[in-house]
Amino acid sequence: MLAKLVDSSRLIRSVLSEEQVRTATRLGWLSIMVLVGLTVTGVWQFFAHAPVPSWYVYSPGSGFFPQPPPSTGVAALHGFFGGASVVLALFGGGWFAYKAVHRVPHLAVLVLVVGLVSTFTGSLIRFNLIKLAGQSFDAAGPGYAQVFTGDIDYVVTDRREIGAMGIRLWTLAHLVSVPVMLVAAWFSITRIRNLEEFTSSRPRKPELGPPGVAGPMGAGPPRR
């Protein structure tokens, strides 16, 4: 697998200009940093995100929701990295498609779509309360593991109640978003198998003849 990635990297470097290689390298490292930040803060959120005590006054079915607490600390960082991943997928993928390969890889579009879905599901599953079956609101602990392992009635987010099956499905969709983006990015790069495949959609530059000979190579001496 690593050999495929190295071969694809060499192939891309052999075709792009030096400036394009530098730009692609910067985008690559920036993407890695964003994905690492998204993963680390996401793991923290999964285990440490806790119910909000000021919401214990919530009355089910009343339609009244207390003031949503602002995102702070690691939660705010997670949201920042999530937005950054979408921006990178949009503009970085657009640059690579337009400047480098002159086509739009389908897997690159998939990365963008998954990033947008991840942003939506992340805001949807951010709970303020978890109602465990037969218990009060303050019985729930921190983290999303209890969503899958505990017997819950529903969770309360900023503006809605979500049932047990709904929160499990939305949380699962959010959890798989980063692995899906990584796999799609991997295949979009390693599918470039040879130079002819990579350059087939790129405009060819005419080869210049030796000094003193105008026009492309093989066009003959200039007319007088």
Q: Which residues pair with 132 in a beta bridge?
A: 152
130 contacts 167 by C-beta, under 8 angstroms = no
pLDDT of 5 strictly over 60: no
48 contacts 126 by C-beta, under 8 angstroms = no
Task: Tell me if the domain spanning 2-59+66-193 has CATH number 1.20.810.
Answer: yes
Query: 191 pLDDT band (50/70/90 cuts)?
Result: low
Gap between the Cα atoms of 182 and 164, Å rounded = 29
For 139-183, the pLDDT digits (tens) are 999 999 999 988 999 999 988 999 999 999 999 999 998 888 778
- pLDDT at position 195: 43
Between these two residues, 128 and 184, which has the higher pLDDT value? 128
What per-residue string of b and e applies to 163-183 under the rule 16 or more CB within 10 Å gives b?
ebeebbebbebbeebbebbee
